[in-house]
């Protein structure tokens, strides 16, 4: 079955480019921290790179999606109506898109360079190169026929990307993560702290891994597993409110959303497999 | 009719909770930034676009002061702080901080002295130009305070795009500056004899400093904006490194990690930090008795939390209380009149000068 692959190719290329771009800021920052004798280790580096990929990556994903959407449309028109075309055209369009987007972010929005890695000339070059590879990746995605699995995989990866923020918070900054859920970690007993950290971390890491396994194997059971866990959280949230008298907590809305997306992916896989 | 009743019911809780009454002295101020009392009924205040004005609190008339410095009014820059010389009554001297273009057409922080005579500034002299040129006029700091020895302290912010320079002593980004009133450098400044360092530097490793005060006991306190989270209040000592951006409790506005570290030997910890940010804008240490509940407290105005934080420290631990939040205004500046009344300036165009009335 044919699908409209272009929008998902743009989204995928944007996410791919985010993955290339965010380490530029992370690494430039880590290099500077090392230069002033801060104790940068492998673990702290990993923490910075992963956090940046998730937290810095999110707004960049939106910016790059718009920039690529425009640039690749222009490149597509050029390849259709002129003699120019091929992967190099889209790669150049990707580089131009990132370059222009980052300039406009400064000139039109903030008047300051929000992206730490883009403050130096070499940093700017790396960003353009990342855009170049993003364009190349886009061309590869649209060059071959795509089926529904492409869409399922994109949404599965995006879902894991959203969960990654929670995973990183619980793994690297558990106090802050606990505070977001209403716990003051240091107020709890040692055993309560241990229980909280192991259970919450395990909860988010497990659902993250389920979604990654779902993307790799396209086995709906993995997506269903993630969905069941979040639907369960929403259900027991409501039971806690109405049966056990806890205060109202609207986080169940988020839990329903987090349960619905993988469930829909699982149902899509089952439906499509049946129709084939 | 029903709508009016409904609205009044909605606002009823605020009305009931209001502990203080306020008197709006004037409104429609144009980005008012700083004020200082000449006497109980006269306030000298600045507006960022470059206006220096006097307001008479008795008849609420406003007089424009002529011959003000040419400022670079853009973004966060413009005419910022005004303070009086301790001998103002005899010498009419005032000090102004502002952003202006340097000879290379870059924006930086300036400090000038001038004499206020008949609604005009005379004998203006630039006594300090920060070695902190920037393309965009942001993160200037610009608060001024007198130390008890008669020297001047000035906040010089990190310029946002130049944050790493706050850790190096060859520039004025992210520094507290100490100079004499004639612009010369006090010879007991901590880095006067340090090769490669600028002699005006008093402390370093700061971000976007706002409040700067010297208490009657001579202690220096400042507060500063962190990025997303990590606003700080610090006790300032000469030569110390306050850590920005190598250690911080905040993350970048973009979501990026600025530093995974919050402490390091040789870098000072804040007295307290606000995460999430409140955006502190100014501060006083209330030593009068007109509002006895505030005596011995720091009063910190805030832009984001739209209140004044009353801060006290007991055995090193901070105790905070939110005040005046029923005003629901971004608060830019706080001053105490000679008689001990608290006055507030609200932020932005259409700003107000508000007097807080003591509880009866």
DSSP labels, A114-126? --GGGSSHHHHHH
Q: Is the CB of residue A252 less than 8 Å from the CB of residue A238?
A: yes
Q: Mean per-residue pLDDT for A163-170? A: 94
Of residues B164, B256, B261, nearest to A55 (C-beta): B256
The yes-or-no verdict on residue A186 having pLDDT over 90 is: no
Domain boundary among A81, A114, A146: A146
Measured distance CA(A46)–CA(A44) in Å, rounded:
5
The yes-or-no verdict on residue B16 having pLDDT over 60 is: no
* Tokens, residue B86: 């301790």
Tell me the shortest Cα–Cα distance from A2 to chain B, in angstroms. 38
Residues A135-144 have pLDDT tens digits of 999 999 999 8
Domain ranges of chain B: 28-357
Residues B39-82 have pLDDT tens digits of 999 999 999 999 999 999 999 999 999 999 999 999 899 999 99
Contact A116 B252 (CB under 8 A): yes
Say whether both A205 and A246 belong to one domain.
yes
Cβ contacts below 8 Å, chain A against chain B, sum to 63
Tell me the shortest Cα–Cα distance from B161 to chain A, in angstroms. 6
Contacts of A7 by beta carbon, 8 Å cutoff, 6+ apart: none
Residues A67-99 have pLDDT tens digits of 999 999 999 999 989 888 889 999 999 999 999
Of residues A22, A38, A59, nearest to B261 (C-beta): A38
Instruction: Identify the pLDDT of residue A182.
Output: 86
Residue B263 DSSP symbol:
-
Nearest residue on chain B to A34, alpha-carbon basis: B246
Buried b (16+ CB within 10 A) or exposed e, B237-258: eeebbbbbbbbbbbbbebbbbb
Question: The pTM is what?
Answer: 0.89
Domain boundary among A106, A121, A146: A146
Class of B28-357 in CATH? mainly beta
Say whether both A127 and A164 belong to one domain.
no
Average pLDDT for chain A? 93
The percentage of chain B sitting over the pLDDT mark of 90, rounded to a whole number, equals 91
Residues B119-143 have pLDDT tens digits of 999 999 999 999 999 998 999 999 9
The yes-or-no verdict on residue B305 having pLDDT over 70 is: yes
Tell me the shortest Cα–Cα distance from A32 to chain B, in angstroms. 8
Say whether both A162 and A121 belong to one domain.
no
Say whether both A161 and A98 belong to one domain.
no
Confidence band of A3 (pLDDT split at 50, 70, 90): low
The number of folded domains in chain A is: 2
A52 chain-B contacts, CB cut-off 8 A: 255-257
Domain boundary among A93, A115, A146: A146
Of residues B161, B251, B254, nearest to A59 (C-beta): B254
Instruction: Identify the pLDDT of residue A179.
Output: 87
Name the nearest CA neighbour of B23 among B54, B52, B60. B60
Say whether both A140 and A155 belong to one domain.
no
Query: Is B139 designated active site?
Result: yes
Say whether both A157 and A233 belong to one domain.
yes
Say whether both A138 and A163 belong to one domain.
no
> Which of A72-86, A110-124, B1-15, B113-127 shows the lowest mean pLDDT across its residues?
B1-15
The yes-or-no verdict on residue B2 having pLDDT over 70 is: no
The yes-or-no verdict on residue A235 having pLDDT over 50 is: yes
Half-sphere exposure of B52 (CA within 13 A, CB side): 26
- Local structure of A35: helix, strand or coil: helix
Q: Is the CB of residue A15 less than 8 Å from the CB of residue A104?
A: no
Instruction: Identify the pLDDT of residue A2.
Output: 56
Instruction: Identify the pLDDT of residue B328.
Output: 96
- Residue B214: phi, psi to the nearest 5? -120, 120
Q: How is the beta sheet containing B21-30 ordered, strand by strand? A: B21-30, B349-357, B342-346, B331-336
Instruction: Identify the pLDDT of residue B165.
Output: 98
Q: Mean per-residue pLDDT for B163-176? A: 98
Instruction: Identify the pLDDT of residue B15.
Output: 43
Say whether both A243 and A174 belong to one domain.
yes
Say whether both A174 and A268 belong to one domain.
yes
Residue B327 DSSP symbol:
G
* Tokens, residue B158: 């990190």
User: Pairing relation of β-strands B308-314 and B297-302?
Assistant: antiparallel
Say whether both A155 and A259 belong to one domain.
yes
CB atoms within 10 A of CB B124: 14
Say whether both A114 and A159 belong to one domain.
no
Domain span at residue A251 reads 149-275
* Tokens, residue B265: 């030997």
């Amino acid at each position: 079955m044919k699908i409209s692959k272009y929008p998902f190719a743009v989204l995928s290329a944007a996410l791919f480019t985010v993955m290339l771009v965010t380490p530029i800021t992370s690494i430039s920052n880590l290099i500077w921290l090392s230069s002033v004798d801060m104790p940068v280790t492998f673990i702290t580096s990993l923490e910075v790179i992963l956090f940046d990929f998730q937290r810095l990556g999110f707004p960049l994903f939106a910016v790059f999606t718009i920039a690529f959407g425009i640039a690749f449309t222009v490149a597509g028109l050029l390849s259709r109506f002129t003699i120019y075309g091929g992967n190099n055209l889209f790669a150049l369009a990707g580089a131009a898109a990132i370059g222009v987007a980052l300039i406009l972010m400064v000139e039109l929005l903030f008047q300051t360079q929000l992206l730490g890695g883009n403050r130096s000339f070499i940093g700017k070059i790396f960003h353009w190169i990342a855009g170049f590879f993003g364009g190349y990746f886009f061309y590869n995605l649209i060059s071959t026929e795509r089926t529904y699995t492409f869409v399922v995989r994109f949404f599965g990866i995006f879902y894991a990307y959203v969960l990654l923020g929670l995973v990183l918070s619980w793994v690297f900054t558990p106090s802050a993560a606990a505070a977001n859920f209403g716990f003051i970690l240091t107020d709890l007993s040692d055993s309560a702290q241990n229980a909280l950290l192991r259970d919450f971390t395990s909860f988010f890491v497990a659902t993250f891994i389920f979604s990654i396994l779902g993307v790799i194997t396209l086995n709906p059971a993995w997506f269903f597993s993630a969905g069941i866990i979040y639907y369960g959280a929403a259900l027991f949230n409501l039971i806690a409110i109405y049966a056990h008298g806890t205060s109202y907590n609207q986080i169940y809305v988020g839990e329903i959303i987090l349960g619905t997306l993988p469930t829909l992916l699982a149902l899509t896989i089952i439906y499509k497999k049946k129709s084939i | 009719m029903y709508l009016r009743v409904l609205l009044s019911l909605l606002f009823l809780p605020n009305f009931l909770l209001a502990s203080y009454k306020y008197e709006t002295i004037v409104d429609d101020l144009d980005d008012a930034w700083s004020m200082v009392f000449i006497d109980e009924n006269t306030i000298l205040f600045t507006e960022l676009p470059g206006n220096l004005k006097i307001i008479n609190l008795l008849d609420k008339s406003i007089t424009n002061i002529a011959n003000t410095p040419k400022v670079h009014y853009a973004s966060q820059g413009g005419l910022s702080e005004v303070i009086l010389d301790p001998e103002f009554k005899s010498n009419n001297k005032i000090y102004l901080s502002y952003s202006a273009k340097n000879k290379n057409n870059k924006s930086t922080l300036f400090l000038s002295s001038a004499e206020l005579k008949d609604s005009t500034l005379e004998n203006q002299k630039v006594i300090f130009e920060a070695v902190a040129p920037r393309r965009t006029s942001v993160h200037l700091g610009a608060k001024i305070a007198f130390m008890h020895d008669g020297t001047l302290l000035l906040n010089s912010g990190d310029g946002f795009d130049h944050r790493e320079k706050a850790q190096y002593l060859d520039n004025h980004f992210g520094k507290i500056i100490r100079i004499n009133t004639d612009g010369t450098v006090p010879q007991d400044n901590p880095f006067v004899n340090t090769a490669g360092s600028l002699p005006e530097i008093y402390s370093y490793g700061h971000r976007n400093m706002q409040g700067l005060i010297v208490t009657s006991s001579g202690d220096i306190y400042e507060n500063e904006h962190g990025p997303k989270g990590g606003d700080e209040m610090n006790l300032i000592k000469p030569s110390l490194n306050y850590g920005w951006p190598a250690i911080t409790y905040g993350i970048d506005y973009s979501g990026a990690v600025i530093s995974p570290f919050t402490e390091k030997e040789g870098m000072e910890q804040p007295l307290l930090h606000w995460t999430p940010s409140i955006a502190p804008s100014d501060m006083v240490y209330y030593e009068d008795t007109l509002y006895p509940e505030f005596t011995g407290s720091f009063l910190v105005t805030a832009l984001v939390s739209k209140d004044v934080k009353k801060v006290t420290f007991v055995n090193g631990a901070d105790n905070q209380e939110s005040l005046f939040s029923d005003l629901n205004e971004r608060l830019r500046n706080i001053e105490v009149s000679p008689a001990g009344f608290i006055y507030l300036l609200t932020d932005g165009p259409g700003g107000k000068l508000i007097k807080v009335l003591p509880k009866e």
